[in-house]
Chain A
Amino acid sequence: MSLSRGTKAALWGFALLVLAFVYVPIAVVALNSFNSDRTFGWPPPSLTTKWWSVAMHAEGPRDALWTSVKAGVGATIIALVLGALLALALTRFDFFGKRVINLLVILPIALPGIVTGIALQSMIQNVLQPVLGINAGLFTIIVGHATFCVVVVFNNVSARLRRMGASLEAASADLGARPWQTMRLVTLPLVRSSLVAGAVLAFGLSFDEIVVTTFTAGPGTPTLPIWIFNNLFRPNQAPVVNVVAVVLVLISILPVWAAQRLGGEAAAESRI
């Protein structure tokens, strides 16, 4: 199939348009964080770094950032352990009920977040609070995030395990290594970078999550996205919201860059 020069030119034009469609809105938010007009009239009458210094000294976003970091670290640790165990079990063994477990693992990202959200919320209100005395807060945010972060680690590690095959592990066993020795000396070193890639991406996913978090965060512990959403419709907070939004974008895309370097081409696609 050979394309005429005109068709090729048209495709180039179309691709540039799509890239503009994808990047212009984000660029607008970034530019607006320097917009001196409080209502963000476009084009900006002049540029200022005032909002950045205001945001830097605002307590709300700083506390929220700290909550997000703690939630991300907690959820990532749980996801790392559970995701790796599941990946090993499902790629290296054949057993009854394997398909069901596979489905169960991807369910948290397949179902609408709002369904997971209300399910966890009513669990908190009906079981955790009255029976165990645990209120909605950092702990419940971590539990909620971990449910869907497991998938990213699972996808990364399974892909690596499938690609490298089981022959090295078989060789290790033939040479007399115990299962635990094989795990420690052969399997773990081979999957290490995919573990790190999965962890970094899980952190990114947690850091940016808002739907499930709405239902699992108590009123006293907003994460960064929740803080933005709560202040989104308050005109006097708008300049600070813009600055925090830029910070959120920067922190959420850093993991992609890191994961691509560690986990290879497919790592950053593990969200799909």
Chain B
Amino acid sequence: MRQRRTPFGLLAAPMAWLVVAYLGALVAIFATAFFTTDPFTNKVVTTFTTENFSGLFTSTYLRIIGRTLLIAALVTILCMVIAVPFAYFMARVAPRRLRGVLVAAVLVPLWASYLVKAYAWRAMLQPEGVLDSVFGGTPGYGTVAVVLTLTYLWLPYMILPVYSGFERLPEAHLEASADLGGSTATTFRRIVLPSLTPAIVAGSVFTFSLSLGDYIAVQIVGGKLQVLGTAVRQNIVLDLPFAAALGTASVVIMVVYLTLAGRTGALDNL
């Protein structure tokens, strides 16, 4: 039973906070994307221009945006490929008493320090590090290292929704498919995957958008690699309006991705 009125008393403080401390700052930074900087002092000057946005469409920045999208897509696909069989194992193969332990085993790295996890891969990838001494070689710091590290960082965000997806899938559907003569492969392709799509899409929203905005892990294991996040970081001091335009670009890409994801109906029960 819900009351049909606006609870002003409850909302006043949180709304004042959100508007003053957050929304105001956010609107201001998006507005800054339309300003220019004084060439001598690097201070922001409030003359209207769309130059910052046309600057995004130069070959340098198009390449950076393209590279960032590619990394985000690769990370998302890798997370899917790892998460689906693993979540299936958690939900259907592992003995019931192990399930709680497995969920905890996925939740712990979700909360364990983001910075330390990225740093851990520096130690894994460094020359004469773990990969080098165990496998006799390391990809070194660069694109491969970034994709690997980001996959590592965001994997729990994919496993958990897919695991709940498997939990919600009724065993009876699988039995019905088998009774009607469906082989394991057919059942997986025609029953399991379609009912799992919303969960996978929901997970991909996290892996994609988190990869898109990341710059700390890229700085730690990426060597000199330039992505959207590092480009924003580099422009802040000298050209804040352009940094704001780059930030806006990442938000726009995310909104587009969210809209596409929303069309599949995957986000309705988030």
Contacts and interface: CB of A to CB of B under 8 A. Distances in A.
Interface stretch (A8-16, A54-62, A129-137, A189-197): A8-16
Interface in B70-93: 82, 85-86, 88-90, 93
B262 interface: no
B114 interface: yes
Given A26-B116, A89-B10, A2 B178 contact: yes
B200 interface: no
B142 interface: no
Interface of A: 1-4, 7-8, 11-12, 14-15, 18-19, 21-26, 28-29, 32, 39-43, 78, 81-83, 85-86, 88-89, 91-97, 101, 104-105, 107-108, 110-116, 118-123, 126, 143, 146-147, 150, 166-167, 170, 201, 204, 208, 210-211, 225, 228-229, 232, 241, 245-246, 248-249, 252-253, 255-256, 260, 265, 268-269, 271-272
Nearest to A9: B93
Given A11-B93, A123-B24, A146-B21, A93 B3 contact: yes
A126 B105 CA distance: 45
Nearest to A267: B107
Contacts of B213: 111-115
Interface string B153-194: 001010011000000000000110110001010011001100
A209 B155 CA distance: 19
B145 interface: no
B195 interface: no
Nearest to B186: A1
Contacts of A29: 116, 119-120, 123
B78 to A, nearest CB: 11
Contact of B111 (A15, A81, A121, A255): A255
Contacts of B23: 104
Interface residues of B, number: 94
B264 to A, nearest CB: 18
B189 to A, nearest CB: 11
A119 B28 contact: yes
Contacts of B113: 208, 225, 245, 248-249, 252
Contacts of A88: 7, 10
Contacts of A24: 124, 130
A25 B120 contact: yes
B26 A116 contact: yes
B244 A118 contact: yes
Interface of B: 1-7, 10-11, 13-15, 17-18, 21-26, 28-29, 32, 44, 82, 85-86, 88-90, 93-94, 103-117, 119-124, 126, 128-130, 132-134, 152, 155, 157, 160-161, 174-175, 177-178, 182, 184, 187-188, 191-192, 206, 209, 212-216, 220, 229, 232-233, 236, 240, 243-244, 247, 250-251, 254
A81 to B, nearest CB: 7
A11 B216 CA distance: 34
29 contacts: A1-B192, A15-B94, A22-B155, A25-B124, A25-B152, A26-B116, A28-B124, A29-B119, A41-B128, A42-B134, A95-B4, A95-B5, A101-B11, A111-B213, A111-B254, A114-B213, A115-B247, A118-B29, A118-B244, A119-B26, A119-B28, A123-B28, A228-B115, A228-B116, A245-B120, A253-B108, A265-B103, A269-B160, A271-B110
B259 to A, nearest CB: 13
Which residue, A11, A92, A260, has most C-beta atoms of chain B within 10 A?
A11
Contact of A150 (B14, B93, B94, B103): B14
